[in-house]
């Protein structure tokens, strides 16, 4: 029986419980199930700890997010046919092909040459100098399609499965489903740029899940976590005493408001902050890393230092048991001067990502870590700026985008799916973003259709209304 603090029936809980009971009995009869508990599976637990729903391939995920929409054509999906039609003019009317779709358009070739790399013969554009060395550890996928041409809605979609925000992010669902592997540090960490991505912190929000499942952003400059050490004169003993007193006060308040989720999350966060003082200082201390590690990630190079630090920190975090780490690289919205903008951005991430894969592999962690690389959408094979001349770029394109995977459970050394001859749309092994999310969950041991949370009258899930695993990328 559900009661409130005064021992009375809670109306919402009573109605939900009654409805669930009656509905389960009716549905059991209809489907011939043995018992009503067969209808809804929840994340199982052993000795109070959550365990995967299916055999997992990966323990952790590092999600490399290229905010702004990197061009698949100019990175991993070259289109030599564009040279034939370069600067060909046409007019588009009334189509939702890109955010700037109408008017005069010009087909434009890539400013970069592309070549086959690795034993697998993967395609990479010429600015990539380091990533070809680990090409055979990567599975390139060319069949993903987005649903939005606008940055904020597209970012929400790739991060939460909902174009309008307000829902839990992928990292939140994973930590909700699997729990923590290290109770002394957050299970979901975000490494943003100085300017947060379009849509802001809603991209790593807990949404309708309990607040403790939201992502924890680390600062992109200076000390990643402020105030991690106690002030002078305050010992851990004094901190513990203060925390215990605060917990007593909060517990009394919580007993009067048992459904106040934010209060419980705040209590949990105080305890986590106290425990973080034991492990976080060593994790975020990049300067004490051996010189060969800093050289590997390009930490001492001004051009690669920013993303290099993020990739190194991501490795250290998953090594310590963090479930989901999201690393942002921004500025990929190249509507013009694509050669300069994309060229610089590729060089800024090239060595750090190569280092991340190499370092994880050397430490025996790549086999239990899933790496995902993608933006929020791809880019068009045409442009309407400056008549497609030397300053050309590309517009937003949800119908084709560059995605790749590495690590646990992935069919390394393969290229799956295809886009048409101009790179305008995916035409082979096509899947929506919901299927990407379902695949990530599956690799981590979670089933999207069983990983649900009751909210606003129904059991909700990451994929919104279901999806299917992208089987061809799976080992």
Q: Stretch 89-99: mean pLDDT, rounded?
A: 65
Stretch 434-448: mean pLDDT, rounded? 98
Mean pLDDT on 50-55? 86
Dist CA 102 CA 405 (whole Å): 34
Going by pLDDT thresholds of 50, 70 and 90, the confidence category of residue 29 is: very low
pLDDT at 392: 86
Q: Over 90: is that where the pLDDT of 322 sits? A: yes
What pLDDT is stored for residue 313 in this prediction? 96
Q: Is residue 216's pLDDT more than 60?
A: yes
328 vs 100, more confident:
328
For the chain, which domains are there?
1-39 (no CATH), 45-473 (3.40.720.10)
Higher pLDDT, 71 or 387: 71
The two structure tokens encoding residue 252: 């009394």
Note the pLDDT of residue 9: 45
Q: What is the three-state SS of the chain?
A: CCECCCCCECHHHHHHHHHHHHHHHHHHHHHCCCCHHHCCCCCCEECCEECCCCCCCCCEEEEEEECCCCCCCCCCCCCCHHHHHCCCEEEECCCCCCCCCCEEEEECCCCCCEEEECCCCEEEECCCCCHHHHHHHEEEECCEECCCCCHHHHHHHHHHCCCCCCCCCHHHHHHHHHCCCCCCCCCEEEECCCCCCCCHHHHHCCCCCCHHHCCEECCCCCCCCCCCCCCCCCCHHHHHHHHHHHHHHHHHHHHHCCCCHHHHHHHHHHHHHHHHHHHHHHHHCCCCCCHHHHHHHCCCCCCCHHHHHHHHHHHHHHHCCCCEEEEEECCCCCCECHHHHHHHHHHHHHHHHHHHHHHHHHCCCHHHEEEEEECCCEECCEECCHHHCCCECCCEECCCCCEEEEECCECCCEEECEECCCCCCEEECCEEHHHHHHHHHHHCCCCCCCCCEEECCEEECCCCCCCCCCHHHEC
pLDDT of residue 220: 78
Two tokens at 41?
């599976």
Average pLDDT over residues 361-374: 98
| pLDDT tier for residue 413 given thresholds of 50, 70 and 90 | very high
Q: Which residue has the tokens 């010189």?
A: 291
Q: Model's pTM, two decimal places?
A: 0.84
Region for residue 35 given its phi and psi (left: phi exceeds 0; alpha: psi -120 to 50; beta: otherwise): beta
**Nearest to residue 455, comparing CAs of 445, 464, 442, 468?**
464
CA-CA distance, 94 to 440, in Å (whole number)? Answer: 36
Q: Would you give the end-to-end CA distance of the chain in angstroms?
A: 47
Whether 389 has a pLDDT exceeding 60, the answer reads no
Summarize pLDDT for 141-185 with one digit per residue, the tens.
Answer: 999 999 999 999 999 999 999 999 899 999 999 999 999 998 889
Q: What's the pLDDT band for 303 if we cut at 50, 70, 90?
A: very high
Q: What pLDDT shows up at residue 255?
A: 77
Q: Please state the rounded mean pLDDT for residues 393-416.
A: 96
Confidence of residue 455 (pLDDT cuts 50, 70, 90): very high
The dihedral over CA atoms of 277, 278, 280, 283, expressed in degrees to the nearest 10, equals: 160
What number is the average pLDDT over the span 299-308?
Answer: 97
How would residue 26 be classed by pLDDT, with cut points 50, 70 and 90?
Answer: very low
Distance CA 389, CA 109 (A): 10
What value does the mean pLDDT of the chain take?
A: 85
283 pLDDT band, cuts 50/70/90, is confident
Range in 37-41, 92-96, 326-330 the model is least confident about: 37-41
* pLDDT over 50 (residue 71): yes
| Model pLDDT, residue 60 | 98
């Amino acid at each position: 029986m559900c009661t409130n603090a005064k021992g009375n029936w809670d109306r919402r809980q009573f109605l939900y419980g009654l409805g669930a009971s009656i509905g389960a009995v009716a549905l059991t009869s209809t489907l011939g199930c043995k018992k009503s508990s067969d209808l809804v599976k929840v994340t199982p637990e052993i000795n109070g700890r959550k365990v995967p729903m299916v055999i997992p391939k990966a323990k952790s995920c590092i999600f490399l997010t290229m905010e702004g929409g990197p061009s698949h054509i100019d990175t991993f999906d070259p289109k030599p046919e564009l040279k034939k039609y370069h600067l060909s003019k046409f007019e588009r009317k009334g189509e939702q092909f890109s955010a700037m779709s109408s008017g005069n358009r010009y087909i434009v070739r890539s400013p970069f040459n592309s070549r086959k790399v690795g034993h697998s013969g993967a395609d990479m554009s010429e600015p990539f100098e380091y990533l070809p060395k680990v090409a055979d550890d990567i599975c390139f996928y060319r069949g993903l399609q987005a649903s939005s041409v606008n940055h904020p809605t597209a970012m929400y979609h790739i991060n939460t499965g909902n174009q309008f925000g307000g829902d839990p992010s992928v990292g939140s669902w994973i930590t909700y489903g699997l729990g923590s592997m290290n109770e002394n540090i957050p299970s979901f960490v975000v490494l943003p740029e100085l300017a947060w991505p379009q849509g802001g912190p809603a991209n790593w929000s807990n949404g309708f899940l309990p607040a403790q499942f939201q992502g924890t952003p680390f600062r992109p400059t200076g000390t990643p976590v402020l105030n991690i050490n106690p002030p002078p004169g305050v010992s851990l003993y004094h901190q513990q005493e203060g925390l215990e007193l605060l917990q007593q006060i909060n517990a009394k308040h919580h007993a009067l408001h048992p459904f106040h989720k934010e209060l419980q999350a705040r209590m949990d966060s105080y305890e986590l902050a106290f425990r973080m003082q034991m492990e976080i200082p060593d994790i975020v201390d990049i300067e004490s890393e051996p010189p060969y590690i800093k050289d590997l990630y390009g930490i001492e190079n001004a051009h690669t230092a920013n993303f290099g630090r993020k990739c190194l920190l991501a490795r250290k975090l998953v090594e310590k048991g963090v479930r989901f780490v999201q690393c942002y690289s921004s500025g990929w919205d190249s509507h013009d001067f694509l050669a300069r903008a994309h060229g610089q951005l590729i060089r800024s991430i090239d060595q750090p990502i190569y280092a991340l894969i190499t370092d994880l592999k050397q430490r025996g962690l790549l086999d239990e870590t899933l790496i995902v690389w993608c933006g929020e959408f791809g880019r068009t094979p045409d442009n309407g700026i400056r008549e497609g001349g030397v300053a050309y770029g590309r517009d937003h394109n949800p119908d084709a985008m560059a995605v790749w995977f590495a690590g646990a459970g992935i069919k390394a050394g393969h290229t799956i799916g295809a886009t048409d001859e101009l790179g305008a749309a995916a035409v082979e092994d096509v899947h929506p973003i919901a299927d990407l999310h379902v695949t990530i969950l599956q690799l981590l041991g979670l089933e999207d259709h069983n990983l649900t949370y009751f909210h606003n009258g129904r059991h909700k899930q990451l994929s919104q209304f279901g999806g299917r695993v992208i089987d061809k990328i799976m080992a």
